[in-house]
Amino acid sequence: MTEQEVTERLTNANKHRVQKESEEIEEFIKQHKFSTERTGTGLRIQIYGRAKNGVSPVAHDEVQIVCKVFLLDGTLCYETDTTNPVAFKLGEGMQIRGLEEGIMTMIPGESARLIIPNHLAYGLSGDGDKIPPGAALFIDVKLLK
């Protein structure tokens, strides 16, 4: 097999994997009757519990969140609560890209449902603990500040 044939096979396999994941995400959204918006990166967002006013955080802002992280099959992987919120600076690689992107669309006090494709989550390697390789995630998040 030539190098070009190998590249072609890998490219086709990747396209198939991406298409399959997109279909799984759309089915998840449909089953849960979510009304999401899709960003250019493929992140799906549904903001609920809207705050009356405020400013969305930007890169290098410190934020505090509480969230629940699920696999699309409903498996709860991680959970925080208001007694132990997660604090971090946006854009410094401390959290997955999809979570940070979603947070930057919110204002403090809002909650959102984020459906994150694997390339914006932990990718093909998973997190080495509870999130398997290639997993898309559903995160229910509230931006505290």
- What mean pLDDT is reported for the chain? 93
Given this model, what pLDDT does residue 51 score?
A: 78
Query: How close are the terminal C-alpha atoms of the chain, in Å?
Result: 55
User: Under 8 Å CB-to-CB from 143, ≥6 apart: which residues?
Assistant: 57, 63, 64, 65, 103, 106, 107, 108, 109, 110, 111, 112
Query: What's the pTM?
Result: 0.88
Provide the pLDDT confidence category of residue 53 given band limits of 50, 70 and 90: confident
Q: What is the CATH number of domain 35-143?
A: 3.10.50.40
**Residue showing tokens 């509870």:** 130
Domain spans, the chain: 35-143
- The yes-or-no verdict on residue 109 having pLDDT over 90 is yes
What's the mean pLDDT in 65-92? Answer: 94
Distance CA(95)–CA(100), nearest Å, equals 7
